[in-house]
Amino acid sequence: MLIQEIIRAKRDGRALTPEQVTEFIAGVTDGSVTDAQIAGLAMAIFFNGMDRDETVALTLAMRDSGDVLDWSDIDRPVADKHSTGGVGDNVSLMLAPMAAACGLAVPMISGRGLGHTGGTLDKMESIPGYDVAPDNATFHKVTREVGCAIIGQTGDLAPADKRIYGVRDVTATVENLSLITASILSKKLAAGLSSLVLDVKFGNGAFIDDMDDTRALAKSLVEVANGAGTKTAAILTDMNEPLASAAGNAVEVANAVRFLTGEHRDPRLQEVVLALVVEMIVLSGHETDLARAGERALQALDDGTAAQCFSQMVAGLGGPADFVERYEDHLPVAPLIEDVTAPEPGFLAGWDTRALGVAVVEMGGGRRRREDDVDHAVGLDRIAGTGTKLDRGDPVARLHARDEASMARAREAVLAALTIGDETPAERPVIAETITG
């Protein structure tokens, strides 16, 4: 069929058939469809939208444009989690080993930091020797033997999405719900999953501030993923303050190890991690009752099996065998560490969470340009939670900086991001809603 006729159909507001979608994506993959034609269809979709069935067809076609991983040699349900990005969001580091300890296989293909948000791969690269790009044999071996492996994109996953996104990025067609949904899910489903959980964030530290827009994205992702044959659920989480009390790379890894060993667990972080793991266990069919799934997840934490899985994963991917026991000796340490203190008494009324994420990036903990190196040692920890009662001079965060100049800029940024009030602010639930298929 003629590509221009497919574009014409969507331009005129007609629903595309699965055959038309498949034909178009095949042309994107083999190069017979031009960038101009990609732009034309993207703009037609932007204005006329796609229904659920069209979006499912687009997701599956983009998924199948490259490799789809095969886990048939693993006798466990294969599951993963996706987050839309936040500050102090180190959930993956605990979730993967906890789910593995509960009998799931989690081949987690993660990304790097984007904008003001941190990236799981950058965090894992804080661990000396840890290989985020192993060969497929190693990836499969660690996943099979340990139950989880956190790595970067492997093989040729969803190449059509990469090309389409590049065109959308320069033609003002990024902000479309169907195109966003298909882009996210095509890469995730190419990992060969039987189930998926989604952490979709809203608030001043999220990419989508408005809760209604966040709910619409979560519903689209859940409906389309289930329509594509992958059991999926989502939770909507509040990103109006950092999720963990740390934001950076090495500092978030240290926070995760302390969480797994029981040394320290941030309450909001624990609630989100447990909720996601519970959904994974139920979607996998290991448990049908949420309460029993929660007990199982907590047991994996309290009896040390989750920490053991994390330790084995790190060692299996080239990191130190004693990392969990001696993480402070292995992680990079910034030359300068200093508290930021409250300028006045009162209650911590809120954070400009995005500004905290930007402060970490400007210290070197993220990238201004794609090719920039990341300083894994810098960041913030001991970030005080909303509602904390403060006296003048009380610490509200601790800075880890490379030099005095970046320390001074970060201190100013943290203080500018801080709001102190006279009354205790109203509590906000960290989980606003759960969306199931």
Q: Annotated catalytic, 14?
A: no
CA 9 – CA 11 distance, rounded (Å): 5
Which member of 181, 183, 230, 284 is catalytic?
Answer: 183
Q: Is residue 64 part of a domain?
A: no
Pick the catalytic residue: 10, 168, 286, 354? Answer: 168
- CATH (domain of 44): 1.20.970.10
437 residues of the chain, pLDDT tens digit each: 799 999 999 999 999 999 999 999 999 999 999 999 999 999 999 999 999 999 999 999 999 999 999 999 999 999 999 998 899 999 999 999 999 999 999 999 887 776 787 789 999 999 999 999 999 899 999 999 999 999 987 768 899 999 998 999 889 998 899 999 999 999 999 999 999 999 999 999 998 889 999 999 999 999 999 999 999 999 999 999 999 999 999 999 999 999 999 999 999 999 999 999 999 999 999 888 899 999 999 999 999 999 999 999 999 999 999 999 999 999 999 999 999 999 999 999 999 999 999 999 999 998 777 667 899 999 999 999 999 999 999 999 999 999 999 999 999 999 999 999 999 999 899 999 999 97
- Is residue 304 domain-shared with residue 343, that is, in the same domain? no
Give the pLDDT of residue 119: 86
pLDDT reported for residue 370: 67
Q: Does residue 271 share a domain with residue 130?
A: yes
Of the listed 10, 63, 81, 376, which one is catalytic? 81
Residue 264, in any domain of the structure: yes
Question: Which structure tokens are listed for 270?
Answer: 């624990």
Catalytic residue among 120, 173, 284, 311: 120
Q: CB of 177 within 8 A of CB of 217?
A: yes
Give me the pLDDT at residue 91, please: 97
- Tokens standing for residue 8: 């014409």
Please indicate whether residue 183 is annotated as part of the active site: yes
**Do 365 and 291 share a structural domain?**
no
**Does some domain include residue 251?**
yes
Q: Which two tokens stand for residue 361?
A: 């990036």
For residues 105 and 233, state if they share a domain. yes
Looking at residue 155, what is its pLDDT? Answer: 65
Q: Is residue 82 among the annotated active site residues? A: yes
Does residue 220 sit in the same domain as residue 292? Answer: yes
Domain boundary among 326, 350, 366: 326
Return the ∠ at Cα 76 (arms to 183 and 199), rounded to 5°: 35
Q: What per-residue confidence (pLDDT) applies to 372?
A: 76
387 & 254 share domain: no
CA distance 222 to 437: 6
Asked whether residue 322 falls in the same domain as residue 386, the answer is no
What's the CA gap between 54 and 51, in Å, rounded?
Answer: 5
Is residue 231 flagged as an active site residue?
Answer: no
CATH number (domain holding residue 118) = 3.40.1030.10
Q: Is residue 169 part of a domain?
A: yes
pLDDT of residue 207: 84
How, if at all, do strands 395-401 and 336-341 pair?
antiparallel
The conformation of residue 76, written as its DSSP 8-state character, comes to: S
Radius of gyration of the chain (CA): 22
Please tell me whether residue 4 adopts helix, strand or coil conformation: helix
Tell me which of 10, 59, 76, 80 is the catalytic residue. 80
Report the half-sphere exposure of 105 (CA within 13 A, side-chain side): 21
Domain end position, chosen among 275, 300, 326 = 326
The token duo for 12 is 């005129």
Give the active site residue among 10, 140, 162, 187. Answer: 187
In a domain, 33, yes or no: yes
How far is it, in rounded angstroms, from Cα 46 to Cα 247? Answer: 35
330 catalytic residue (yes or no): no
Whether 207 is covered by a domain: the verdict is yes
- Residue 60 makes CB contacts below 8 A (sequence gap 6+) with 186, 189, 228
Residue 201: active-site member: no
The catalytic position among 55, 83, 110, 186 is 83
> Look-up: residue for tokens 């497929």?
136
Q: Are residues 177 and 273 in the same domain?
A: yes
CATH code of the domain covering residue 350? 3.90.1170.30
d(C-alpha 128, C-alpha 296), whole Å = 32
Same domain, residue pair 114 and 243: yes
Residue 428 lies in a domain: no
Rounded to 5°, the CA angle 219-29-62 comes to 15
Both structure tokens of 365? 């903990």
As for how many domains the chain has, the answer is 3
Instruction: Answer yes or no: do 240 and 286 share one domain.
Output: yes
Domain-located, residue 55:
no
Q: Which structural domain range is residue 362 located in?
A: 334-421
Contact predicate 187/64, CB 8 Å:
no
Do 174 and 32 belong to one domain? no
- Does residue 219 have an active-site annotation? no
- The reported pLDDT for the residue numbered 1 is 79
Task: Note whether 242 and 367 are same-domain residues.
Answer: no
